Structure 1
Amino acid sequence: MPPARPLCPIDVLRAVPRRYPVPALPASEDEARQAAPAAALAFAIEHARAAMAQQAAPPPALQALFIDALARMIRDALRPEGGDPAVQALVLRHHVPCVREHAALAAQADRDRRAIRSAVDAVAHPAKPRPEAPQPQRQALERLHALASSGAWQALAADVRGLLDAPVAWQQPGIGAGLQRILDAPALQRLQRLDALASDAAVRRHQGLQARQGPAAGTHAAAAHGADTRRRGAVAEAQAAPALQALVDRLNTTAPASARYRAVGSLLVPGRLAAHAERAKTEWDLAVLRQAPPVGDAPAWELCLLVEVKASADAATSDFPRLLRGLALLAGADAAAALPFASRQGELQLRGASLRALAAEADLHRAVLYCCDGPADPAPRLLSAASRMQLLSAPQSLAFAGRVADGQPADLQALVPLWRQLLASPRFEQVLRQYPTLCQVRALMVHVDDLSAAVGAGTDPARQ
């Protein structure tokens, strides 16, 4: 019997079931019109993309379908009960000046607080010795520090102004100038304005909508949520790593001794490639390498497969543009060089030619695998969350939503320019391609249990 042909990763991965099905689009325009707005939008967008791919203009009926479905989606998002608080907050910021101003001030409030507290510490920190200062002056400075620490910005400004206006001879040099710097600081003025706006009814409603979206950035709750997300990611990766090791073990049953495989984790792209990452993936959760001829005395490896671990199919879809940009980074490697990649298993020399070959692989199934430990969604979404928000946050959608929110007549024709932008603007390219992207990601995704089962059992493809 002739020796078995050496296995490669795709030989084994081809047999892994895909339990994350690609959702089907409505079968016709009539069916799309009766479907939920997201399904109707996905149908219109995909059929328009397909027409343009054939150098044809999208039929006018698709424009009407798109506009009607988008208007329905906007109205659904604005419903007081069951609507979308993120969209409602966006509409408020777009249409109510004081809400927009409050949101802008809140975005830099942490930086402003640090600046003012630092300025107050410079003149009023309790640790500063002031043995020669009279008791009333020491108490006044202690109060300033307490007001800054508690965020009482209106009272702080009033006290600083009172101290500057009082006929007081400060014994320590620089205190008067320091107080003047606090009072004149734009940061203090912005914090006072932020406090003043907080009592506005529209601002309070906006804050309530934001609270419904989850913990605010920088809060203890947000930090706890982030820690929980990282923990769940670590658990999922820990489950995927043994499955990938089992894959490597399977490959090595037919691999020659000079081309053995190995699995590594947390593969970091070296700085010379990652310097211009521009939101590209620069760390890969797991990877399969194949032994290559050494570089001098150092072992060298070829990159065969990149694996990303995600908690859900939706998370993988959101991650996909970063993944593609990460592959583009690898394509910039010097084919004649070996590059040092850090990993959980230590530094590894990877052949640049293998990086370029993997990045240039036309069939992504041979280069990338998404692993997931979450259940399949019984009703997969046809319109990605990112595409939905990009459409809803477009100026035309916000203008339409503002009129709806105010109870005014809203003309569907106001949404026509957005359809034209979708077809022509590079900003909407990912939206236009969102359904093929969804199909591609679902085809690249396997459940960890299915991967483990496939690499641990079955007939070797090389012997079939």
Structure 2
Amino acid sequence: MSLPPPHPLLDATLRAVARRYRVPALSEFPSDDAVPATALAVRIEQARASLAAGGAPAPSVRLAFLGALARLIRDAMRPDEGDPVFQAMSMRHRNAVVREYASLSAGAAQDRREVLAAANAIAHPAKVERMAPGAARDALALLSTAAVQARWAALAEAAGTLQESPALVEDAAAAAALERLTASPALARLLRLDQLGRDADVRLYRTLWEQQGPRSGSATAAAQGYASRARGDAVEALALQALEALVRGLNAAEAGAPYRAVSSMRVPASFPASPARAKSEWDAALLRRSADAGAAPAWDLCLLLEAKASADAAATDFPRLLRGLRLLAGADARADYVFSTRQGAFPLRGAALRAVPAEGPALAQAVLYFCDGPAETLPRLLSAASRMQLLSAPASLEYANRLAQGQDPAPDALEPVWRQLLESPQWAGVLQQYPMLCEARELMVHADDLMAAIADAASTHPAGSACPP
């Protein structure tokens, strides 16, 4: 069964809304390669276009790519103005002690939980409080405090003291638990991590690495997270307000007021397709009560809005958005699916979900990125994710290490990165980044522009306008 065309007011709004975030043509970006990141993005797109046309990139494109990547690495390795996170990665790549520290740090949270649980099995604070005063209680209190404060050397020392306690030796269960704690590989790793943390190179590594942002779990990180969530919530609320304005115009023009705006629309767990790595919660959606629902109420999905606090966020989110649309397209056309929203539960027809486009020009009539941030004159062409993938390639890290050792390697040393870009499926996201950026930005509208388009469309499609057949 075919779905009805969109209401003329909705169609007019989507066609008229300005797209101020569009990406200019490559020819409008500086061509002197003064900015390595921009030069890389241009060369990557030239290479992609050549491959798409069935040919090979010109030698000049390869040389320009290698030269731009070399400059990007050199800039990132500058002691004062470089990229501290990349410098930390370079240290980890060339320094065995730093590499061991980083490896142990990756599992430290799990190790801490394991050791704390083992310590609590012997010296839980509540158990210690109930004990009679004495040497055994004091030793157990030291063990418990050291575990809570993550002082692993003190914990090991307290455990050693307890192993020599006559009272504990007589308690077979406690002695066995203490033996398990002292022999724990997790405790050994934490002790080694503390030891490595005193190394000068490790301290420099930590200083560099922590410049990417506040440490996870810190008060600063919590404050930044709260501010980011508040900013995101504000843009989402603005997106819902825009849809509600659109709903008022649509319902004024169509009898029965069949349209609704909803927010935080979540894909139900009963959906037939896998939600892995796909967007499964949509910030705002426009729904229309279906005329073909029969006795049971059902709704059709007309438009999706994804709110973003910055224009750069769209390109990063876009692959997940596309997977989310493909997830919706996996609906059974004969079934209804109950989506939860902040406005309540709404059964959506599978036939309407299957009709939502998942690629191509029709996307602009089905989904919008919504933003109230400024539009740059020339947006950043090389995404943060692509930049980091280029920098973290083994050949790039080796190039950086040679720079750190005072050498002056030729850009040709980065040839393996060029080959990976052209041939490896793992580099497809980097190779396709410019068309993906253009497509994502094509879907992005500013809050003011959408509200203006809604008002203009309503003035040309007043109440009582004919509905689509």
Task: Compute the TM-score of the two structures, normalised by the length of structure 2.
Answer: 0.91
Contact 1:6 1:254 in 2 (8 A): no
Summarize the Cα distance change of 1:208–1:23 in structure 2 as closer, same or farther, 3 Å threshold: farther
Aligned counterpart, 1:183: 182
SS in 1 for 2:356: helix
1:7 and 2:5 matched? no
Contact 1:268 1:283 in 2 (8 A): yes
1:32 and 2:31 matched? yes
Following superposition, the deviation at residue 43 of structure 1 comes to 1.2
SS in 1 for 2:90: helix
SS in 1 for 2:436: helix
SS in 2 for 1:428: helix
Aligned pair partner of 1:301 in 299, 302, 305? 299
1:204 and 2:203 matched? yes
Following superposition, the deviation at residue 170 of structure 1 comes to 4.3
What per-residue deviation string (whole Å, max 9, x for no partner) do you get for residues 36-91 of structure 1? 11121111111111111111111111100100000000101111122111211111
Greater Cα offset, 68-77 or 47-56: 47-56
Structure 1, unaligned stretches of length 5 or more?
A: none
Distance 1:169 1:349 in 2: 63
What per-residue deviation string (whole Å, max 9, x for no partner) do you get for residues 213-270 of structure 1? 111223332222222211111111111211111112223343354x832211111011
Distance 2:130 2:18 in 1: 78
Aligned counterpart, 1:78: 77
Greater Cα offset, 299-308 or 164-173: 164-173
Summarize the Cα distance change of 1:100–1:275 in structure 2 as closer, same or farther, 3 Å threshold: farther
Structure 2, unaligned stretches of length 5 or more?
A: 1-5
Distance 2:323 2:183 in 1: 46
What per-residue deviation string (whole Å, max 9, x for no partner) do you get for residues 263-284 of structure 1? 1111101113376222110000
Aligned counterpart, 1:398: 397
Matches for 1:338-417 after TM superposition, within 5 Å: 338-360=336-358, 362=360, 363-417=362-416
Following superposition, the deviation at residue 294 of structure 1 comes to 5.7
Aligned counterpart, 1:460: 460
Summarize the Cα distance change of 1:438–1:374 in structure 2 as closer, same or farther, 3 Å threshold: same
Summarize the Cα distance change of 1:67–1:205 in structure 2 as closer, same or farther, 3 Å threshold: same
SS in 2 for 1:353: helix
Of all paired residues, the percent bearing the same amino acid is 52
Following superposition, the deviation at residue 34 of structure 1 comes to 3.5
Contact 1:26 1:35 in 2 (8 A): no
Contact 1:37 1:69 in 2 (8 A): yes
- Structure 1 residue identity aligned to 2:154: A
Contact 1:26 1:39 in 2 (8 A): no
Following superposition, the deviation at residue 105 of structure 1 comes to 1.5
- Structure 1 residue identity aligned to 2:157: A
Distance 1:132 1:54 in 2: 79
Greater Cα offset, 296-305 or 323-332: 296-305
Distance 2:69 2:128 in 1: 65
Aligned counterpart, 1:153: 152
Q: CA RMSD in A?
A: 2.3
Following superposition, the deviation at residue 130 of structure 1 comes to 8.4
Contact 1:85 1:209 in 2 (8 A): yes
SS in 1 for 2:98: helix
Aligned counterpart, 1:283: 281
Contact 1:25 1:382 in 2 (8 A): no
Contact 2:273 2:331 in 1 (8 A): no
Distance 1:134 1:172 in 2: 18
Matches for 1:38-437 after TM superposition, within 5 Å: 38-128=37-127, 135-165=134-164, 170=169, 172-257=171-256, 260-273=258-271, 276-293=274-291, 295=293, 297-360=295-358, 362=360, 363-437=362-436
Distance 2:283 2:65 in 1: 38
Contact 2:264 2:282 in 1 (8 A): yes
Distance 1:461 1:401 in 2: 61
SS in 1 for 2:261: strand
SS in 1 for 2:376: coil
Following superposition, the deviation at residue 165 of structure 1 comes to 4.1
Distance 2:319 2:411 in 1: 32
- Structure 2 residue identity aligned to 1:15: A
Following superposition, the deviation at residue 357 of structure 1 comes to 0.9
Summarize the Cα distance change of 1:274–1:86 in structure 2 as closer, same or farther, 3 Å threshold: farther
Contact 1:86 1:209 in 2 (8 A): yes
Greater Cα offset, 188-197 or 151-160: 151-160
Contact 1:160 1:183 in 2 (8 A): yes
SS in 2 for 1:306: strand
SS in 2 for 1:123: helix
What per-residue deviation string (whole Å, max 9, x for no partner) do you get for residues 326-358 of structure 1? 011111100111111111111111111111110
Distance 2:339 2:443 in 1: 25
Following superposition, the deviation at residue 424 of structure 1 comes to 1.6
How many residues were matched structurally?
456
Greater Cα offset, 138-147 or 127-136: 127-136
- Structure 2 residue identity aligned to 1:213: Q
Greater Cα offset, 168-177 or 134-143: 168-177
SS in 2 for 1:376: coil
